[in-house]
Amino acid sequence: MTELPARRLLLVHAHPDDESINNGATMAKYAAEGAQVTLVTCTLGERGEVIPPELRHLSGAALGQHRMRELTEAMRALGVDDVRLLGGPGRFADSGMMGLPDNDDPACFWQADVDTAAALLVEVIREVRPQVLVTYDPDGGYGHPDHIQAHRVAMRAADLAAEAGCPLAKVYWNRVPRSIAEASFARLHEDLPGLPFAKPAALDDVPGVVDDTRITTEIDGTAYAAAKAAAMRAHATQIEVAEPYFALSNELAQPLFTTEYYELVRGERGPGDRETDLFAGVAAATEGKAP
């Protein structure tokens, strides 16, 4: 039996780069504080659009392998050393954007049986024994089929893990408060002339924007802003960074958030108007031993 760290965080994401954009500062903070941070990525992102011209020859399996190397470098920047591909590398293929023929590929994640994929995630939960799970909302943040499926698989795995005697104390969805997003876009419009991006994204392009009242938790990651930016830069096929902004392959600028926000959807909320710790209210007695 191996003694587990007192705090254990599991994040479930769809593709390499999603973790750095959504949770990079949070991951760096908890890793630096000695928590066990485990990332499960569900696909290799084989159908992602590539930004640098010199890398646009990459596609399919070759792009997936390259993006896995980018993920390894990004996690090095965040100080995270436990990264898993759900079911192993290549088990589930990238499904492409919603509505494309790629969605019909029997090998893609969108077509996966939810219980089968969730059982693979339960294996990780049984090993790592996380108290806290972070994933997407039911829309996957912005409607990508792999993000929606990651949500379904993560939530189903939480149920199955509880049935197996490995309950999660808290489950969070990634969020951005509307007031913060609006203020950040106002600054972006002022700063745009000095940026390498021609146009701004729209507020609706930011995944998980909700009314401020939905936000239960904010994690101040400003001390880890450089780590988050470095992790995002590591995903060079997908992201161009010009702090405190970035752009995806659409070349539309959007804010790079270093305070990251969440909605607690399962578990007991910590004290105060907003939690400032994902582990707020998690009893120290939940320390455990790995099987």
Binding-site sequence positions for Zn(2+): 15, 18, 147
The residue type of 146 is D
Residue 174, SS3 per DSSP: strand
Residue numbering of the annotated binding site:
15, 18, 147
Query: Are 135 and 174 within 8 A, CB to CB?
Result: yes
Query: Are 150 and 140 within 8 A, CB to CB?
Result: yes
Query: Are 68 and 16 within 8 A, CB to CB?
Result: yes
Phi-psi region of 13 (alpha: psi -120 to 50; beta: other; left: phi over 0): beta
Helices (H), the chain: 18-32, 60-78, 114-128, 145-163, 178-191, 225-234
- How many residues appear in the chain? 291
Integer Cα distance of 94 and 61 in angstroms: 10
User: Which tokens belong to 125?
Assistant: 């939960």
Integer Cα distance of 68 and 84 in angstroms: 11
135-155: string of b/e by CB count within 10 Å (b at 16+)?
A: bbbeebbbebbbbbbbbbbbb
Q: Which residues pair with 231 in a beta bridge?
A: none
